[in-house]
Amino acid sequence: MKISKLFGQEKLTMSIEVFPPKTDTLFESVKEATEEIAKLKPAFMSVTYGAGGGTSKYTLEIAKNLQKTYGVPALAHLTCVSSSKETVVRQIAAIKKAGIENVMALRGDIPAEHVHEDRSHWDYRYATDLVRDLKAMGDFCIGGACYPEIHPDSDNQKNDILHLKEKVDAGCEFLTTQMFFDNHLLYNFLYKIREAGITVPVFPGIMPITNANQIDRALKLSGSYVPQRFKSLVDKFGGDPAAMKQAGIAYATDQIIDLYANGIRNVHLYSMNKPEVAQKIMENLSDILK
Ligand code: FAD
């Protein structure tokens, strides 16, 4: 099923992100975790591609399994920066062959050793280049990433939104946001992109922070602003794993309820491959998602 089928529906839905294992030995346990999450019957599941030091080897295998065995539509992530055209074309063909109809087109982070290099001759410089190739090579529903708090490479939000518009105009049908911990940042961003003529659905990405160690890493990766309300919660419960988990789930649940109450129809949950966290959040929202 194409994710575009969800567009315009009144029903509230939740989709969930998982990531493939970093090593071969972890494959079975990660596969099992993704299957437990699939049993919750989210609207769709996205599977990352080499993000945060992970591998890209198992993205398709996991996506295919979720779709075929559990009937959950899969969204395969694909990055392009520092890849050759040949590699990307081969990967797009493999996605098609696996029966995956939805692709999240990403640039990916620029490897540290290339940051100061002249990249003008690279096959792919931006996600928009990949969107164009996906459009030309298959009948995919294409998604893209967006950043309510600005992408770190951008000098200012105006330019970031201009480039986002180019990505959408190239064929991106929906956008998923970077994590954020203050919903007002999202509402403000939505206002600005609508004003800039970007009309595609935006799926807010919510990351439940369930242990104190996760916080530094998550914030380093995303650069997200942390409201005092959230800081107080970590100060109070950070040293007690069970209490921190409960408080983190409650905070994420609260964010999601506020998003639904303000007109959002699908929320994307960054599950960190934790079925029990995804399950608890869906339980908390059971009457809302009914
Ligand atoms: P782009 O859309 O290309 O934007 C990158 C920067 O380039 C922005 O600052 C933009 O304003 C600028 N830009 C765009 N076009 C132009 C132009 N023509 N001229 C000048 N500047 C321009 N990473 C992974 O490795 N694997 C994953 O699976 C993954 N999944 C993700 C899912 C989501 C929802 C999000 C939000 C991020 C994900 N990432 C993933 C991280 C992502 O790859 C990085 O944030 C990366 O640095 C940017 O990717 P992008 O696709 O947003 O890039």
What pLDDT, in 10s, does the model give residues 123-141?
Answer: 999 999 999 999 999 999 9
Higher pLDDT, 22 or 59: 59
Of 79-83, 164-168, 214-218, 222-226, where does mean pLDDT reach its minimum? 214-218
Known catalytic residue at 166: no
Using the mean position of ligand 1's atoms as its centre, give its distance from the Cα of residue 171 in Å: 15
Would you call 265 helix, strand, or coil by DSSP? coil
The DSSP letter of residue 62 is: H
Q: What is the pLDDT of residues 90-104, one digit of tens each?
A: 999 999 999 999 999
For residue 266, the SS3 value is: strand
pLDDT at 212: 83
Tell whether the model's pLDDT for residue 111 goes beyond 90. Answer: no
CB within 6 Å of ligand 1 — which residues?
48-51, 77, 79, 106-109, 126-128, 145, 151, 153-154, 160, 163, 167, 176, 178, 205
233 CA distance to ligand 1 middle (Å): 31
Q: Out of 2.60.40.1930, 3.30.450.20, 1.20.1560.10, 3.20.20.220, which CATH number does the structure's domain 3-289 have?
A: 3.20.20.220
SS3 state at 45: strand
Q: What letter represents residue 92's amino acid?
A: I
CB 182 within 8 A of CB 174: no
CA proximity to 207, closest of 5, 13, 17, 30: 17
Q: Out of 10, 17, 36, 276, which one is annotated catalytic?
A: 17
Share of the chain above pLDDT 70, in %: 99
pLDDT in tens, 220-266: 778 889 899 999 999 999 999 999 999 999 999 999 999 999 999 99
pTM value is 0.97
Q: Ligand 1 center to residue 75 CA distance, Å? A: 17
The pLDDT-based confidence of 54 (bands split at 50, 70, 90) is low
- The pLDDT mean for the chain works out to 94
- Rounded CA-CA distance 267/18 in Å is 14
SS3 content of the chain, % helix, strand, coil (to 5): 50, 15, 35
**Coil, strand or helix: which one is 15?**
strand
Nearest one of 132, 123, 126 to 172, comparing CA atoms: 132
The ligand 1 atom nearest the CA atom of 153: 9
Count CB neighbours of 19 within 10 A. Answer: 25
Q: How long a stretch of residues is the chain? A: 290
Task: Tell me the CA–centroid distance for residue 81 and ligand 1, in Å.
Answer: 9
Cα angle 246, 248, 252 (rounded to 5 degrees) comes to 120
At 223 the pLDDT is 85
Query: 173-224, pLDDT tens digit by residue?
Result: 999 999 999 999 999 999 999 999 999 999 999 999 999 888 878 887 788 8
H-helix segments, the chain: 27-38, 59-70, 85-97, 127-137, 157-169, 183-195, 212-222, 228-237, 241-261, 275-284, 286-289
Closest CA to 18 of 72, 71, 69: 72
Confidence band, pLDDT 50/70/90 cuts, at residue 145 = very high
